[in-house]
Structure 1
Amino acid sequence: MSERLQGKTILVTGAASGIGRAVAEGFVAEGARVAFTDRDGAGAAEAARSAGGGSFGLTLDITDESSVEAAFAAVLERGSTLDVVVANAGVQLFGQDAPIADLDLAVWERTVAVNLTGTFLTVKHAVRAMLATGGSIVLTGSPTGLNGEGRDFTAYSSTKAGIHGLARTVAAAYADRGIRVNTVVPGYTETPLVTSISGDAGSRAAIVARTPLGRPGRPADVVGIMVYLASDESSFATGSLFRVDGGMTTL
């Protein structure tokens, strides 16, 4: 254990499973005290108990501003500044998201509510918590917001592109307050979010074939860059995209 994050308090959304959980566990291993937050409060609490290190779980629905406010207040009431926030929670509505001519308004609105508005609310309250002290905010992006990888996922791709733009805007607005904002772009990563791909041999083979490193990503693949961005080692990095996609966006 190198403890590169010793003494830091970190909040991670979507931390009950997948990338969020792996990243939160990685922060704990590096010495941080982590608030595992998720709409699945029981899952977040279980993940925090498993990770140990003084971490704790909180129920947080990123689409509900009062829930976001309450979670941030609960962290601050524990007597800590909030040093890092990872805005990771999101949805991808497989079987519902579609090319625009076939996309139902309700699917669009649900995806925007979670991915874009939810990220906005998370970042808004992260910035408020960091105005006096500075800190690092990290957003989870997607190749679908950069190229044509998500052509059949109009809503998801649009929200991820919006997240990339949000990160740049906030980074520019608050750099003078010592708040850094960056985006990590994982490639196809096998988590519970993508079981409709990982469980279908043909779909899985097709997306792996578009990944130059020749394999799907794992949640652990994202941990290293997240630790770097959470640490003081990245003190001169803001407004940037960090791609961990196996080379997918080079094609």
Structure 2
Amino acid sequence: MTTSDSGRLAGKTALITGAGAGIGQAVAERFAREGARVIIADRDATAAQSVAEVIGDAARAVVCDVSDEATVAAAFDHVATAGWAPNVVVANAGVQLFGQDAKAADLDLNVWRRTIDINLTGTFLTVKHAVRTMLEHDGGSIILTGSPTGLNGEGADFTAYSASKAGIHGLGRTVAAAYARVGIRVNTVVPAYTETGLVTTITTDPEARAAIIGRIPMGRAGAPDDVSGVMVFLASDDSAFATGALFAVDGGMTTL
């Protein structure tokens, strides 16, 4: 993979969870083009290794199930021991259980628990060990992946997912305030409907897709690089005075 001329992330090492596909993969590839070393963290070892091979020498793959603290801790310890301690961490791994998540009265407890375990607890564990690493290596930038469903009623049929994302928004603000004076920044990116392979596969009904896009003022779905571009800014020194904030990448959806 060729690098860009900007080098906005030169000298940075970034760990991205859920980077084996979708937005996480796009972020990893974009960061590498901007000069960063990237750690592809995913519970799917084959997917992580595949992305790392596409990127080349600037990438490493590590297995990480964000819902399991032992594997999260092991992933951070492994890369730090190898001289790849991250000063940028993107807590991106998550699930949205289409066909299972539902309105509260119809929601199965196991679906709730699985969603919260991966999305909210998984983000917390990633942040916890990112902070521990950054306290030993002069700070850094942590970027969380939120959702408009955590801000408004957009996800009325996705109770667990919406609650998990609202929790992520609160977590980001709390951790940002706690560690601002020691050089650790925490911000949350809020993408709207973004056309990744998974979402495209699930949203096969043209009318349903049109209805979703109809609620986006810019009149189109997001692309993974719409999200990765904002994350490059938050990972870079250009955002040195930004912490505890939500950055909407939603085509104006949350303005309605």
TM-score in same-fold range (> 0.5): yes
Aligned to 1:114: 118
CA deviations 1:111-168 (Å, max 9, x no partner) are 0000011001000000000013110000000000011110110000000000000000
CA distance in 2, matches of 1:87, 1:240: 15
1:190–1:198 CA contact under 8 A, matched in 2? no
CA RMSD for the aligned pairs? 1.0
Q: Is the partner of 1:11 in helix, strand or coil?
A: strand
User: 1:51-70, aligned counterparts within 5 Å?
Assistant: 51-70=55-74
Q: Is the partner of 2:222 in helix, strand or coil?
A: coil
TM-score by length of 1: 0.98
Aligned to 1:157: 162
In the TM superposition, residue 192 of structure 1 has moved relative to its aligned partner by: 3.3
User: 1:156-235, aligned counterparts within 5 Å?
Assistant: 156-195=161-200, 197-235=202-240
CA distance in 2, matches of 1:51, 1:210: 35
The verdict on how the C-alpha distance between 1:145 and 1:155 changes in structure 2, with shifts beyond 3 A counting, is same
In the TM superposition, residue 30 of structure 1 has moved relative to its aligned partner by: 0.5
Q: Is the partner of 1:36 in helix, strand or coil?
A: strand
CA distance in 2, matches of 1:195, 1:186: 15
CA distance in 1, matches of 2:166, 2:159: 11
User: 1:78-117, aligned counterparts within 5 Å?
Assistant: 78-117=82-121
In the TM superposition, residue 52 of structure 1 has moved relative to its aligned partner by: 1.7
Instruction: Tell me which stretches of 4 or more aligned residues in structure 1 moved more than 3 Å.
Output: none
Moved more, 118-127 or 49-58: 49-58
Q: Letter of the aligned partner of 2:163 in structure 1? A: S
In the TM superposition, residue 79 of structure 1 has moved relative to its aligned partner by: 1.6
Match for residue 237 of structure 1 among 229, 233, 242: 242
Q: Percent identity?
A: 67
Moved more, 170-179 or 77-86: 77-86
CA distance in 2, matches of 1:4, 1:226: 12
Q: Letter of the aligned partner of 1:126 in structure 2? A: A
Aligned to 1:38: 42
The verdict on how the C-alpha distance between 1:196 and 1:47 changes in structure 2, with shifts beyond 3 A counting, is closer
Matched, 1:126 2:94: no
Runs of at least 5 residues in structure 2 that lack an aligned partner in the other structure? none
CA distance in 1, matches of 2:222, 2:230: 14
CA deviations 1:153-195 (Å, max 9, x no partner) are 0000000000000000000000111000000000100123424
